[in-house]
């Protein structure tokens, strides 16, 4: 018997298409093993949730946190509490307004705040600093930025019968792509495609970008 592939719904309600380009590796990896649908309006989102409920929802920008999209956030909350998976990643952490961060996570029943999350339970931390952590940067020296061990840039925890994931890395890092794929609980690591971008010199090769076009329903 043939089984249907997982379905991924991507709400990009901010409609900032110029921000899609850094995430080519993630998009192509998901399309290799799932049906991927990207929507940019509340109406499109509502139709997909009603007629084609997704296996996972991946918010690539902060549009779901805007007051005018509160109906979308409530729908996502209901979907996740009922057993769905919602992941906030890509440009989400860069675009969400500081004044809305605490309120946004409070809606999910989580006491989180700031872009690198605070108050994350240890069992829900996927990546976090330790007392021996050091900054690795081409801009700042190892002692120029203080490290707060209470901060967590990558978290994953239960909401009702479902899961909410958060990845604060806005760059197209291979590791971040793999973490997002793992958070979906349905997209295999074997589907991750190589990151072929090469815009910057070798010194900055960890900043990986590549041109991408708007993603519609594909297989």
Q: Which two tokens stand for residue 35?
A: 């049906």
Q: Which residues, 6 or more positions from 41, have their beta carbon under 8 angstroms from its beta carbon? A: 13
What pLDDT does 196 receive? 75
What pLDDT does 216 receive? 34
Q: What does the pLDDT look like over 89-138, one tens digit per residue? A: 999 988 998 888 889 988 998 776 544 444 555 554 545 555 555 555 55
Establish if 209 belongs to a structural domain. no
What pLDDT does 187 receive? 97
Establish if 81 belongs to a structural domain. yes
Whether 34 contacts 8, CB under 8 Å: yes
Establish if 46 belongs to a structural domain. yes
Identify which of 172, 168, 154 has the alpha carbon closest to the alpha carbon of residue 27. Answer: 172
Number of domains in the chain: 1
What pLDDT does 204 receive? 36
Between 181 and 122, where is the model more confident? 181
Establish if 142 belongs to a structural domain. yes
C-alpha distances in Å from residue 37, one per residue of 57, 69, 92, 169, 202: 10, 19, 18, 22, 34
Establish if 119 belongs to a structural domain. yes
Domain that holds residue 164: 7-204
Establish if 217 belongs to a structural domain. no
Q: What does the pLDDT look like over 19-64, one tens digit per residue? A: 777 889 999 999 999 999 999 999 999 999 999 999 999 999 999 9
Whether 40 contacts 16, CB under 8 Å: no
CATH label of the domain that carries residue 135: 3.40.50
Establish if 1 belongs to a structural domain. no
Establish if 2 belongs to a structural domain. no
């Amino acid at each position: 018997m043939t089984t249907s592939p997982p379905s991924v719904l991507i709400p990009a309600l901010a409609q900032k298409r110029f921000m899609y380009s850094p995430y080519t590796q993630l998009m192509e990896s998901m399309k290799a093993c799932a049906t991927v649908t990207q929507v940019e309006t509340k109406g499109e989102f509502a139709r997909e949730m009603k007629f084609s409920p997704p296996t996972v929802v991946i918010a690539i920008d902060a549009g779901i946190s805007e007051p005018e999209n509160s109906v979308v956030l409530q729908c996502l909350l209901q979907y996740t509490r009922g057993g769905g998976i919602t992941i906030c990643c890509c440009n989400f952490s860069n675009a969400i307004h500081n004044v809305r961060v605490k309120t946004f996570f409070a809606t999910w029943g989580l006491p989180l705040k700031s872009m690198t999350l605070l108050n994350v339970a240890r069992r829900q931390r996927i990546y976090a600093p330790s007392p021996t952590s050091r900054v690795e940067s081409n801009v700042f020296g190892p002692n120029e930025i203080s490290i707060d061990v209470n901060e967590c840039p990558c978290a994953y925890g239960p909401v009702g019968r479902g899961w909410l994931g958060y990845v604060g890395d806005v760059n197209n890092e291979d590791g971040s792509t793999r973490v997002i794929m793992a958070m979906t609980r349905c997209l295999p690591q074997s589907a991750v495609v190589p990151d072929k971008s090469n815009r910057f010199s070798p010194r900055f090769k960890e900043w990986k970008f590549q041109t991408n076009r708007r993603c519609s329903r594909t297989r």
